[in-house]
Amino acid sequence: MPDTNQSASGVRPLLRVSNLTRRFGGVVALDDVSFDVAEGERLAVIGPNGAGKSTLLKLIAGQDRPTFGTVSLEGAGQISGSSPRHITRTGISLARQVPRPLRSLTVSENVAVGIAAAGHRGHGRAQHRIEEILESTGLAGKAGRAAGTLPLLDLKRLEVARALASAPRLILLDEVSAGLSESDLFEVIELIRGIGEQGTALVIVEHVQEVVKQLAQRVIVLNWGRLFAEGTPESVADDERVREVYFGARDADAIETVPRERPVLQPGQGLVLRDVVVKRGQHLALNGASLEVPAGSVTAVLGPNGAGKTTLSQCISGLLPVAAGELEYDGRDMRKVPAHARAAAGIAHCQEGRKLFAGLTVEENLMLGAFGKRRTERQDLAELVLADFPVLHERRTQVATTMSGGQQQMLAIARALMSGPTLLVLDELTLGLSPKAADEIYEVLERITERGTSLLLLEQNAERPTRLADQVYVLSHGKVVFSGAPGDLSQEDLVAAYLG
Ligand SMILES: Nc1ncnc2c1ncn2[C@@H]1O[C@H](COP(=O)(O)OP(=O)(O)OP(=O)(O)O)[C@@H](O)[C@H]1O
Ligand SMILES: [Mg+2]
């Protein structure tokens, strides 16, 4: 029935979301949300972590069912309650933040699977269609490569290619640009823009504002599951209420970097890497890197995707072996020390991609972070950590992997803190966080450093880490190409490193 409804402009909408509601026990993830998407429109959905954005996309794509309300697609009628397969065939596809291709299949086989799933048969036509899609997503030269061997940018392209395989009328994009460095980000923006120009409607969920600004014609803001505001990218960014709940009230000009002395390494304290080489297969992921994290300091390591930041963090925490060079913590040679003993020595590592324990609750995840400590100590630590993360306190009994992307990120950080570390290594800590939540995490970090913990921040984005850091390193192709005070880091140094 909603199919026959006309929108205000008299044009029949492509998608109509009516009173959509999803409850999980006492949590109202989506609360009576209604909106339309016009044929070929590019709509962005923004809002704080846990506001209901991913839930909304899952309900539209049929991966979850509403508690109340409906979704209808022009020509197909009501689709909510149908299977994901049926919804794909009516012309809606979903691209996710973390691409999960079939890793042992080639790039073109992955697209073929997508085409088959959409019910388009006939080999000859499919082959032609695959080539077309690979061409338009910039993957033509990599058709025969195993998907599992692709770098991040190509994985994102493949995720978009898979979404295109069903020849959709509407693509839902859930934080597709998360984790990309700036130059890769612009490639993905251009790719998505191209798809939009072909007339495919887009619903874009993003925390990366550049994507919203460049691609969206209209923005809706969700907050606590409710439709909170609506407008153009500009009007929404200027809306005081939206700034308060989402962007954060901070005024970029008001931020000062406090000039600080660059900390000096005291003998027998802190972390030292000298000419460290780490291999991943045949590839030298770290190729003679030297750096120091003096006790009590905040050190930022910046660099684009693939520069070696994750490798660096993993060799510090003991997940990857050091092939050559020296690694010391508090005066002790760490090269042969296993990961669990490094944790006991005070090194905590919060990994990119969260790595939470599936099936366990928030509280259980936290307690495992304090593994080996006495009960009373664990409880004291939990008290301290939960005071900094009220949302985790509220959700103590929720299964960790059902939390929103940003909530999971906060849990990963909180769990790392539960070991009471003297050095906390944080890999891409703001990934998936709303602008306001990212600022709040940085405030938490400031408090943590005041308690004497050293921080090593590995980030692509320079802005927030350079505000907090005492010293900065820039990594490029496994080597340190800059080291100094944040104030000495010029835009040129960064650009040079990021463009290789
Ligand atoms: N299976 C579930 N059980 C309990 N609560 C859930 C479940 N799935 C989602 N939620 C809750 O619903 C709310 C909305 O989550 P959703 O993933 O839609 O947020 P989001 O807007 O995508 O956030 P983010 O920006 O952090 O990705 C969150 O509070 C989340 O914890
Ligand atoms: Mg989400």
What pLDDT is attached to residue 421?
Answer: 95
Which atom of ligand 1 is nearest to 406's Cα? Answer: 26
Say which residues have a Cβ less than 8 Å from residue 377's Cβ, sequence separation at least 6: 370, 420
Counting Cβ atoms within 10 Å, is residue 4 exposed (0-12), middle (13-18) or buried (19+)? exposed
What pLDDT is attached to residue 351?
Answer: 84
For residue 291, give the nearest of 458, 416, 494 by alpha carbon: 458
Q: Cβ(398)–Cβ(361) under 8 Å?
A: yes
How would you label 80-111 residue by residue, b for 16+ Cβ within 10 Å and e otherwise? bebebeebbbbbbbbbbbebebeeeebbbbbb
Reported pTM? 0.86
Which ranges constitute the DSSP H helices of 224-280? Answer: 233-238, 240-242
**Residues with Cβ–ion distance below 5 A, ligand 2:** 54, 404-405
Q: Cβ(40)–Cβ(201) under 8 Å?
A: yes
- Tell whether ligand 1 has an atom less than 6 A from the beta carbon of residue 176: no
Which domains does the chain show, CATH number per domain? 2-253 (3.40.50.300), 271-498 (3.40.50.300)
Distance CA 2, CA 7 (A): 10
Q: What is the largest CA-CA distance in the chain?
A: 76
Which atom of ligand 1 is nearest to 27's Cα? Answer: 5
How far does the centroid of ligand 2 lie from the alpha carbon of residue 465, in Å?
24
Q: Which segments in the chain show pLDDT lower than 70?
A: 1-11, 120-124, 249-262, 353-354, 499-500
What pLDDT is attached to residue 500?
Answer: 57
Distance CA 240, CA 47 (A): 14
Distance CA 316, CA 327 (A): 8
Which atom of ligand 1 is nearest to 53's Cα? Answer: 21
